[in-house]
């Protein structure tokens, strides 16, 4: 009987799939306001990305409060309710181990706007005209 060979490519695809499933579950919980927290109910929160560790025991969740308002308050509320989120993700995914969630602010939008400002600088535009 042939044994299935795992390659880095297949592992990374699995990590991406599980991360995307976790992102969908967290987004659904926040959208439906299933978390009984006044701060999370008052703010719209977007889960932009979830990165899973290779053993699927840790998940880094990147979030952005819409319009960037009260980001620290929203992060604190998410971190306060981490146990609830972990329990819900574990129940819905039915994995062997429940992933420990770590919430971080998503700074990619800020970085993108910084790069956009740099590229729209007249000095840079002058060099790009050719």
Residue 56 CA to residue 110 CA, distance in Å, equals 29
pTM across the whole model = 0.77
Q: How many helices (H) and strands (E) does the chain have?
A: 6, 3
Q: Tell me, what DSSP letter sits at residue 95?
A: -
pLDDT at 86: 94
**Closest listed residue to residue 72, CA positions, set 103, 35, 97, 102:** 103
Is the pLDDT confidence value at 81 over 80?
yes
**pLDDT tens per residue, range 49-75:** 999 998 889 999 999 888 767 888 999
The number of angstroms, rounded, from the C-alpha of 119 to the middle of its chain's C-alpha atoms is 27
């Amino acid at each position: 009987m042939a044994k299935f060979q795992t390659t880095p490519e297949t592992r990374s695809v699995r990590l991406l799939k599980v991360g995307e499933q976790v992102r969908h579950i967290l987004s659904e919980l926040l959208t439906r306001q299933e978390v009984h927290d006044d701060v999370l109910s008052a703010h719209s929160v977007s889960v932009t990305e979830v990165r899973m560790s290779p053993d699927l025991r840790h998940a880094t969740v990147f979030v952005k409060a819409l319009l960037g308002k009260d980001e620290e308050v929203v992060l604190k509320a998410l971190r306060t309710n981490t146990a609830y989120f972990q329990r819900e993700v574990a129940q819905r995914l039915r994995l062997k181990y429940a992933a420990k969630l770590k919430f971080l602010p998503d700074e990619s939008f800020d970085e993108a706007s910084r790069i956009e400002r740099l590229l729209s600088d007249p000095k840079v535009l002058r060099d790009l005209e050719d």
